[in-house]
A and B are shown apart, each in its own frame.
Chain A
Amino acid sequence: MDSEYLSAKALEKKHRLETDPTYRKNHMEYLPGMERIESDICANVMKHMKSFDYSKYTAHDVKSALNRDTCSIEDFKALLSPAAEPFLEQMAQRARLETSKHFGNTVYMFTPLYIANYCENYCVYCGFNCYNHINRMKLTIEQIAHEMEIIADSGMEEILILTGESRAQSDVNYIGEACKLARKYFRMVGLEIYPVNTDEYRYLHECGADYVTVFQETYDSDKYETLHLLGHKRVWPYRFDAQERALMGGMRGVAFSALLGLSDFRKDALASALHVYFLQRKYPYAEMSLSCPRLRPIINNDKINPLDVHEKQLCQILCAYRIFLPFVGITVSSRESAEFRNGIVKIAATKVSAGVSTGIGDHESKYSGKESDGMHGDEQFEINDSRSLGKMYRDISDEGLQPVLNDYLYV
């Protein structure tokens, strides 16, 4: 969909990017300033993903995978296959056992804070993309402090700071200032920003951030090329190595995901988990977690239909993740419904967001109903579970689980 606010020149460029692949930059080629690291992680993940033929697995493979104490890569592939669909309940039982061994009955809570939504990328499925006409905004340091104060007052102790992907509008120094501020209001500070170099991750760590989330969107680089048409984000391998650079920069933990539904979700789920698996073997002290976003309706775009990953399949993926990687955190965002989240925390998920706004500068109106100056930045996507921290805390407790606001110390 084209915005009526675009100039003729911009429209022409947009259309050409969409229709003429030769007009687009090589998505496998680094741009100036992007750090290259020595790593074999990507090659290992790709080798498995490319050869993954999930149609060859049988009920027998799934049963023997479930019968083994330790889940091998081959077992994990069987659990992700269509042959495992009839075994969803058995997978859930096993997943719950593994979750309780490693996490007991605890469920961690956090909230995201979008501080800017400027973006220089053209990703066709995203509401923040540079051709989409939305209210753009970047919070000032004072505004960030105000938002953080409101969130901290609600009792939240872990925050995930997000920006759109614009180095020009929200540079590393700006994000660093937000991290320093966040350290005053929260016990744990995570970042979900555009990928940066090792020295920049180190700087952000020194500013107080300790966890970095980067979604690869899809591990299928050919498909990736057709969706991320312009901007730094187009460079697929630089994004792939972001978590490793973050760990090299001293971050304690990293989080991963594909946006399930962009490409073949079984292959993307395999690659996401193997990305964790191989990186964990190289950086055994690092803490790792997986998320599981599916495509959801976005502003000004009704063309994408997320039907290919249904709740049952999402549950299958999460159970398979848990059985293969019993020690990793699994985060389920407010894109999923309250019913789904209530159910999945009893099986595999260990972290949920609460009191969520994906807009910019609107926590006061959302938390208290009080309208501020009316200046807001638009939201990245619609959320499905709008429970406040208090409500979420009670609901988790009522399910017989233990909500945890913090289990972290910056050392």
Chain B
Amino acid sequence: MDNDKLIIGGHEFNSRFILGSGKYSLSLIEAAVKYAGAEIITLAVRRANTKKQENILDFIPNGVTLLPNTSGARNAEEAVRIARLARELGCGSFVKVEIMRDSKYLLPDNQETVKATEILANDGFVVMPYMYPDLNTARDLVNAGAAAVMPLASPIGSNKGLATKEFIQILIDEINLPVIVDAGIGRPSQACEAMEMGAAAIMANTALATAGDLPMMAAAFRQAVEAGRKAYLAGLGRVLTRGASASDPLTGFLRD
């Protein structure tokens, strides 16, 4: 367990809980780092595009890796511009590509995401694209140079959990990059379930931001993510794995 690191673009992390950026506050960031153990915090560049007295960059504790996102981008070109601005602002080389052409559900545009990923990966960014869980797109993202893929579990902010479970499982089974489940995780049990499935990490924001007791919810997420990860590494009991096995082997008649 001690050597079980999350590796993204050659960078190592101990924590598999990533704080999303939607609803930020100083107390949320504190709780995520202190109680959920977050080592990566997403930051909307458009939120960081502020004057000194409000700058969210000042809220980020030392030792935490910033993951600036391109929210607000409606196509690849805008995402690339926002990512480069993030680098100029001193946000490092990580970037979460988020491209939405839909202001109602905030669903990602997979095609544009592949384009932006390729440009940014060639430009030296560690690119973590937010995507709708589609296997073909995920393969395209691998070829485009992504460092991870971040499929959505359900519509952002919905707290509805793993609505796309079957498709995320396919990505986990087929893609040789960390699969980080993003958006829609509303409860620790859902985070745990995603980790049991073999997700490399989960990202959440609303679930914490809207909790009654923030630090306690943050701690609950930490335990859930760790429990799910351990269960995955341990190998789930056969009753719980896909399919059942007959008590008498079907192949018992074979002689040599």
Q: Does A295 lie at the interface of the complex (its beta carbon under 8 Å from any beta carbon of B)?
A: no
Q: Does B192 lie at the interface of the complex (its beta carbon under 8 Å from any beta carbon of A)?
A: no
B210 touches A100 (CB 8 A): yes
B74 touches A104 (CB 8 A): no
Q: Does B72 lie at the interface of the complex (its beta carbon under 8 Å from any beta carbon of A)?
A: yes
Q: A102-B157, A285-B101, A402-B24 are in contact. Are A411 and B53 (CB under 8 A)?
A: no
Report the separation of the CA atoms of residues A287 and B49 in the bound assembly, to the nearest whole angstrom: 19
Q: Does A157 lie at the interface of the complex (its beta carbon under 8 Å from any beta carbon of B)?
A: yes
Q: Which of B23, B105, B106 has the most CB of A within 10 A?
A: B23
Report the separation of the CA atoms of residues A101 and B205 in the bound assembly, to the nearest whole angstrom: 10
A285 touches B23 (CB 8 A): no
Taking the closest CB of chain A, its distance from the CB of B188, in whole angstroms, is 18
Whose C-beta in chain A lies nearest to the C-beta of B52? A155
Q: Does B22 lie at the interface of the complex (its beta carbon under 8 Å from any beta carbon of A)?
A: yes
Specify which chain A residues have a CB less than 8 angstroms from the CB of B205 in the assembled complex: 104
Specify which chain B residues have a CB less than 8 angstroms from the CB of A103 in the assembled complex: 23
Specify which chain B residues have a CB less than 8 angstroms from the CB of A104 in the assembled complex: 22-23, 205-206, 209-210
Q: Does A286 lie at the interface of the complex (its beta carbon under 8 Å from any beta carbon of B)?
A: yes
B103 touches A155 (CB 8 A): no
Interface of A is mostly: loop
Q: Does B78 lie at the interface of the complex (its beta carbon under 8 Å from any beta carbon of A)?
A: yes
Query: Chain B, 37-80, contact with A by CB distance < 8 Å: what is the 0/1 string?
Result: 00000001111011101100000000000000000111000100
A288 touches B54 (CB 8 A): no
Q: A104-B210, A406-B54 are in contact. Are A286 and B103 (CB under 8 A)?
A: yes
Specify which chain A residues have a CB less than 8 angstroms from the CB of B224 in the assembled complex: none
Report the separation of the CA atoms of residues A409 and B101 in the bound assembly, to the nearest whole angstrom: 16
B157 touches A409 (CB 8 A): no
Query: Chain B, 147-176, contact with A by CB distance < 8 Å: what is the 0/1 string?
Result: 000000000011100000000000000000
Q: Does B81 lie at the interface of the complex (its beta carbon under 8 Å from any beta carbon of A)?
A: yes
Specify which chain A residues have a CB less than 8 angstroms from the CB of B100 in the assembled complex: 285
Interface residues on B, range: 20 to 34
Q: Does A106 lie at the interface of the complex (its beta carbon under 8 Å from any beta carbon of B)?
A: yes
Whose C-beta in chain B lies nearest to the C-beta of A104? B23
Taking the closest CB of chain B, its distance from the CB of A70, in whole angstroms, is 11
Specify which chain A residues have a CB less than 8 angstroms from the CB of B106 in the assembled complex: 327
Taking the closest CB of chain A, its distance from the CB of B89, in whole angstroms, is 11
B102 touches A411 (CB 8 A): no
A411 touches B103 (CB 8 A): no
Report the separation of the CA atoms of residues A402 and B44 in the bound assembly, to the nearest whole angstrom: 16
Report the separation of the CA atoms of residues A288 and B50 in the bound assembly, to the nearest whole angstrom: 22
Report the separation of the CA atoms of residues A105 and B26 in the bound assembly, to the nearest whole angstrom: 12
Q: Which of B25, B51, B206 contacts A402 (CB 8 A)?
A: B25
Q: A157-B51, A285-B101, A402-B23 are in contact. Are A408 and B46 (CB under 8 A)?
A: yes
B23 touches A411 (CB 8 A): no
A106 touches B101 (CB 8 A): no
In A373-411, which residues have CB < 8 Å from any B CB?
A: 402, 404-409, 411
Q: A104-B209, A286-B103, A409-B85 are in contact. Are A155 and B53 (CB under 8 A)?
A: yes
A411 touches B49 (CB 8 A): no
Q: Which of A103, A104, A285 has the most CB of B within 10 A?
A: A104
B157 touches A411 (CB 8 A): no
Q: Does B11 lie at the interface of the complex (its beta carbon under 8 Å from any beta carbon of A)?
A: no
Whose C-beta in chain A lies nearest to the C-beta of B27? A402
Specify which chain B residues have a CB less than 8 angstroms from the CB of A187 in the assembled complex: 49-51
A287 touches B46 (CB 8 A): no
Q: Which of A106, A284, A402, A404 contacts B102 (CB 8 A)?
A: A284
Q: Does A280 lie at the interface of the complex (its beta carbon under 8 Å from any beta carbon of B)?
A: yes
A101 touches B54 (CB 8 A): no
Taking the closest CB of chain B, its distance from the CB of A31, in whole angstroms, is 33
Whose C-beta in chain B lies nearest to the C-beta of A253? B103
In A273-329, which residues have CB < 8 Å from any B CB?
A: 280, 284-288, 327
B102 touches A285 (CB 8 A): yes
Taking the closest CB of chain A, its distance from the CB of B101, in whole angstroms, is 4
In B78-95, which residues have CB < 8 Å from any A CB?
A: 78, 81-82, 85
Specify which chain B residues have a CB less than 8 angstroms from the CB of A402 in the assembled complex: 23-25
Specify which chain A residues have a CB less than 8 angstroms from the CB of B54 in the assembled complex: 155, 157, 404-406
Q: Does B104 lie at the interface of the complex (its beta carbon under 8 Å from any beta carbon of A)?
A: yes
B72 touches A409 (CB 8 A): yes
Specify which chain A residues have a CB less than 8 angstroms from the CB of B50 in the assembled complex: 157, 187, 405-406
Specify which chain B residues have a CB less than 8 angstroms from the CB of A404 in the assembled complex: 47, 54
Specify which chain A residues have a CB less than 8 angstroms from the CB of B47 in the assembled complex: 404, 406-407
B44 touches A407 (CB 8 A): yes
Report the separation of the CA atoms of residues A405 and B100 in the bound assembly, to the nearest whole angstrom: 23
Report the separation of the CA atoms of residues A105 and B211 in the bound assembly, to the nearest whole angstrom: 11
Specify which chain A residues have a CB less than 8 angstroms from the CB of B206 in the assembled complex: 100-101, 104
Specify which chain A residues have a CB less than 8 angstroms from the CB of B45 in the assembled complex: 409
B103 touches A280 (CB 8 A): yes
Q: Which of A284, A405, A407, A411 contacts B78 (CB 8 A)?
A: A411
Specify which chain A residues have a CB less than 8 angstroms from the CB of B105 in the assembled complex: 327
Report the separation of the CA atoms of residues A157 and B54 in the bound assembly, to the nearest whole angstrom: 10
Taking the closest CB of chain B, its distance from the CB of A278, in whole angstroms, is 13
Interface residues of A (CB under 8 A from B): 100-106, 155, 157, 187, 280, 284-288, 327, 402, 404-409, 411
Chosen A-B contacts, 14 in total, with CB atoms closer than 8 Å, are A100-B206, A100-B210, A101-B158, A104-B22, A105-B25, A402-B25, A406-B46, A407-B46, A407-B47, A408-B46, A408-B49, A409-B45, A411-B72, A411-B81
Interface residues of B (CB under 8 A from A): 22-25, 44-47, 49-51, 53-54, 72-74, 78, 81-82, 85, 100-106, 157-159, 205-206, 209-210
The 6 A-B pairs with the shortest beta carbon distances in the complex, nearest first, are A104-B23, A409-B46, A411-B78, A285-B101, A402-B25, A406-B50
Given pairs A101-B206, A327-B106, 16 additional interface contacts (CB within 8 A): A101-B158, A101-B159, A103-B23, A106-B23, A155-B53, A155-B54, A285-B100, A286-B103, A327-B104, A404-B54, A405-B50, A406-B49, A406-B50, A408-B49, A409-B45, A411-B81
